[in-house]
Amino acid sequence: MEIPYIVAAVIIAVIFVAGLSIYNGIIGGGNRAQRAWADVLVYERQKTKVLDQLQKVLEDFKIYESSLLQKITGLRSAIKDLPASADGNALASVESASRELMGGLRIAVEAYPELKAAEPVNNMMREIAEQQENVGAAITIYNRNVELFNNSIEMFPGSVVNGLFNKKTPITPFSDTEASKGFDYTPNL
């Protein structure tokens, strides 16, 4: 008669430990996705610092174009407005503004040979490009963490634990619709 009680206690203990492990996995996954989003924000804000320096250098050359000023101001504003909580949709406008700015900078640099030869401008252009690469890498890590987190709360048994205890909602990954327009291939999803 004691054996059924021991077996039942072991089964309850195993279920409790498994549930606790899944619960903690969901919390950890959410925290990893949030940390990855914070990394995206850090790289975007580092890009803003370089843009501030670039703006000063361009003003020193007295060739500063108003459209370029508007693009830099718009990008800085968009970066500043990124939410603290993970949201891939919010990043779309920042990435679009970054592409627009880089195109405008290349045109301005090509139009003014003395600016093209200026080492500070070239260094800043390289720094902005490097920061943009860092943002791209951080977005890749963010999207991977979002996928893992979303899977953990949407797949069984995590969905049960999440539904009963955590009540976490899926996080939106970053999707670049502008870049995907250039592809003819559409995955069979």
Q: Where are the domains of the chain?
A: 2-167
Residue with the two structure tokens 């252009």: 125
Residue 160 or 57, more confident: 160
Q: Measured between alpha carbons, how far is 119 from 103 in angstroms, rounded to an integer? A: 19
Q: Which of 60, 61, 93 is nearest to 76 (CA)?
A: 93
For residue 104, give every residue at least 6 positions away whose Cβ sits within 8 Å of its Cβ, in sequence order, or none: 65, 67, 68, 71
Q: Is 90 exceeded by the pLDDT of residue 118?
A: no
pLDDT (tens digit per residue) in 23-67 = 999 999 999 999 999 898 888 888 888 888 777 776 666 555 556
pLDDT at res. 152: 95
pLDDT at res. 89: 81
Query: Span 168-181, mean pLDDT?
Result: 80
pTM of the model: 0.72
Q: Measured between alpha carbons, how far is 185 from 175 in angstroms, rounded to an integer? A: 16
Q: Measured between alpha carbons, how far is 99 from 93 in angstroms, rounded to an integer? A: 10
